């Protein structure tokens, strides 16, 4: 699979998983997704499953720590760090895509309309949540 297709797959799986979390929990619990250079697997990590009492920042830190370990020990091409973000009354899915030489954070605003979650087009930001790949 070429690099562009890997990134598309990473984003699609991330957003599908986020939508499922919105359906179940009404928010996106921090999680990570990774794709690989040498196979078509997509793997997820969500440490909140084992640590539900952790606060939001601790959950993000746990996801990042796990992703860093995977990057060091697996042939990871790219990662996604995904979580709910809130600013004033606006809610969004924060989706940070990171590769060895680049990182970008997109915010996908979302709302519930007629019983369905509507995820809007992303807004690219200049900030990052936290980097996974070594600098």
70-125 pLDDT, tens digit per residue, is 999 999 999 999 999 988 888 999 999 999 989 999 999 999 999 899 999 999 99
Q: Residue 109 belongs to what domain range?
A: 3-125
> What is d(CA 28, CA 31) in angstroms, rounded to the nearest whole number?
8
Q: Which residues pair with 125 in a beta bridge?
A: 105
Residue 43: closest CA among 4, 69, 22: 69
The single-letter DSSP state of residue 52 is T
pTM value surpassing 0.85: yes
Residue 108 to residues 24, 37, 66, 105: CA-CA distances in angstroms? Answer: 18, 26, 24, 10
Give domain status of residue 76, yes or no: yes
> Is the per-residue pLDDT at 135 higher than 80?
no
pLDDT band at 58 (very low <50, low <70, confident <90, very high): very high
- With respect to residue 44, please indicate whether it lies within any of the assigned structural domains: yes
In a domain, 113, yes or no: yes
Number of structural domains (the chain) is 1
In a domain, residue 93? The reply is yes
Q: Specify if 134 maps to a domain.
A: no
Predicted pLDDT of residue 49: 80
CA dist 131 and 135 (Å) reads: 8
Tokens coding 98: 């990171």
Task: Give domain status of residue 131, yes or no.
Answer: no
**72 domain residue, yes or no:** yes
Task: Examine residue 60 and state whether it is found in any structural domain, yes or no.
Answer: yes
């Amino acid at each position: 699979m070429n690099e562009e297709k890997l990134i598309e797959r990473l984003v699609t799986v991330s957003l599908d998983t986020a939508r499922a979390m919105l359906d179940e929990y009404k928010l996106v619990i921090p999680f990570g997704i990774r794709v690989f250079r040498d196979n078509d697997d997509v793997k997820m990590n969500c440490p909140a499953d084992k640590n539900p009492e952790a606060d939001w920042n601790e959950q993000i830190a746990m996801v990042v720590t796990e992703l860093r370990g995977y990057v060091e020990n697996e042939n990871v091409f790219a990662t996604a760090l995904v979580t709910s973000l809130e600013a004033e009354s606006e809610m969004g899915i924060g989706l940070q895509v990171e590769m060895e030489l680049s990182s970008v954070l997109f915010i996908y605003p979302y709302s519930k309309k007629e019983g369905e979650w509507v995820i809007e087009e992303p807004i690219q930001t200049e900030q990052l949540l936290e980097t996974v790949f070594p600098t």
